[in-house]
A and B are shown apart, each in its own frame.
Chain A
Amino acid sequence: MPDPAGLSARDWAEVSQQRARLYDWFATLYAAEIPEARLPAYLAGEASPVAALSALGLGTEVARLQAGFAALRGLDQPHLELAADFAQMFLLDAKAGALPYASVHDGGEARLYGPAEARMQAFLARASLAVQEEFREPADHLAVHLAVMARLAQDQAQAADIAGAARDQLAFLDEALLTWLPKFHAASEQARPRYDIYPALAGLLIAVVKLDAQFIRELAEPGVAVDAS
C-alpha cells in the first residue's frame, strides 16, 4: 500500500540502503585514519561518492574535499601525513582540533562523558546495541552516531510504517546529531590542520545530514512545510 506521503515501499527500501551506505562511509572516515592500503583510491577520487554528493547540490563541498586529497598526491608517505591530520583533529586535546564528541559541543563545560554520552549509552542499551570493544571511545563519538544512523536506515528499510520509521530517524537526527553538529563543524573549520580534508569532510557531513533530515522530515510529517534552513 503506497505511503500517504507518496513514497513506495520499494523506493523507501532502496533509498534506505543508499543512505545507510552513505552514513557508513562518513562513519568510517571518522572512526579511524585511512589505512595506507586504501588511501590511493581516495587520492584517485574513486573512494568517495562524488556523483551522489554533487547530485545533492554539494558540488562546491565535494570539490573542496577532492582538492584536499589532491594536495596529498606526490607526497612521501601521504597516509602518515593524513594520519597526523586525523590525530590533530580528533585524537589530541581540544587545543588544535575538533573533538568529535557530542559532550564537548553540547554547551556548558567542554568535557568528555557529559550527559550526551550517558544518553547515547542509554539509547544503545535500549536498542540492544553495543560499541565494539576495540573502539575505545565514548559512546557519543561522531562515528557512533553515524553508525547508528546507518544501522537505523538499514534496519528500517523494510518497515511497513514508513512514516513511523521516518519519525524515529528524524528524532535521532534532530536530538542526537544536529544539536551539536554545527558546533563541531565550526570547530573543524577553525582547526587548521595541514591539509583540508577533514574540515572539508565536516562541511560535507553537515550538509548531507541537513538534507537527509529534510528528506526524512517530509516523510515523517507529510504536509508540513519544510524549513529552508
Chain B
Amino acid sequence: MIRKTLRATRDLFLKPSVSIGLGILVTGGFIAGAVSWQGFNTAMEQTNKEEFCLSCHTMRDNMLPELQKTVHWSNRSGVRAECQDCHVPHEFTDKIARKMQASREVWGQIVGTIGTREKFEEHRIVLARREWARMEANDSRECRNCHDYGDMDINLMRPTSQVAMRAAAERDESCISCHKGIAHHLPDLKGSHNPAFDTLVSAASSTRVQADGAYYAVLPHKIYADPGLTQEIGSLEVAAKVRMLESNADAQRVELDLWRKNKGFGRVWYSNFGLNITSAILSKEVSRDETLVSVLDTREDPATGLEWQNVKAEVWMPTDSLIDSPEEIWEIARASYNQQCSTCHRQPEEAHFGANSWPAQFGGMVGFTSMDDDTAKMVLKYLQKHSSDFIETAHGGDPTKGVIQSARP
C-alpha cells in the first residue's frame, strides 16, 4: 500500500503529464514549506513579485510591452499596477489557490505550450477566458482594490464615457464586463474583431439554456448534423432565433423554424416570410435533403412572385453561443450604426426603409465604413429588424420621417 503510494508519488515527480505533473511546483513548495512555514511565505513573496512573473520571457516579451502602452502602466498620477495587483488575489488563501492554477501557466511555459509568440497568441484566448472568468467570479475584486465607483468623479470623464459609467455605477457592474483588453491585447475572437462582441460572448457563456426556450445566436456559428460537431452542414447568422431542444456539455441541439425561397438550392433561410433577413445558410448537400429539412407551408410572395416555403430543421451547435434576448445585440449594433454611418451624412432612421430595402442601401455604403464583416452583418440585421416592416412609428410607418442629411454630391 505504502509502496504504491510511494510509486505514485515518485511518478508524480518524475513523469509529469500536463494535468497532474503541474502540481510539482506548488506541491514541491508545500512539501518544502511543510517543514518551514517561513520558507513557504518566502516562496509566496518571491512568486508574488513582478520580477518573478517577468522572469519567463513569454510574460516579459508579450505581456509587459502590451501593459506598458496602457494607462495601468503610465499615467498622469504615477500610480502603476504590477502584475500581481490584478492577477493575484489579495486575500491570502485565494492567493494560494491562484498559484495552484497559475502553476499550469508556468508549466505551459516550461513545456512550450506558450513558448513562442505564435503559440502564445493562439493560446491567448484560453488564458484570457480563464482570467475573465476568474474576475467575473470574484466581481472584479482586484480592480476594486484600487477603483471604487463611490470615489469616481463621473463628470471628469468624456461625455460618451459618462453615459456608460453612470449606468455601470448604478448597477455596481463588475468592471471586467466591459473593460476587457484594458491592460493587454485582446485575443483574436476567431473572426470577430469588434471588441464589443466580447460582451456578447460573455453574456452567452453565462446564459443557462432551457429546453423549449427561444434563444438567439450572439455570433455567426457553424451548425452540424451530429452532437460531436464533426459534420458541418451550414451556419447560423448573428441574432438568429432558435428553439432549444437539448443541451449537453459540449453541444446543443436546436430547432430552426424559418422561411426560404423555393428557387435553386433554397439554402438561404430567412427569419420572416417575404423578408430577406438571413438567419441560416445550409450547405448545398443538405438543403434539399428531406430527411433533414421539412417543408411545412408554401406561399407566393406577391411582392416578387417568388414561392416561399416555411422550413424546419434540427441542428447541432456549440454551447455558450446563445442568449435569451436579442436586445444586447441590438444595442451594440445601434451604437455601431450611429457612429459608423454618420461620417458623411446623417444616418437614416431605421424605419426609413423596409427590411428588403436595407440590403441595397447598406451594401452601397458599407464600403465607406471600417466595419468588419461580422459587425456589418449584425448592423444590417439590426436595421432590417427595426425597419418599417417591424416598427409602427408615431408617423404610422412612413419612412420619410427619418432624418437624413446627405453630404454626398
The answer to A–B direct touch (Cβ < 8 A) is no
Residues of B within 8 A of A (CB): none
Residues of A within 8 A of B (CB): none
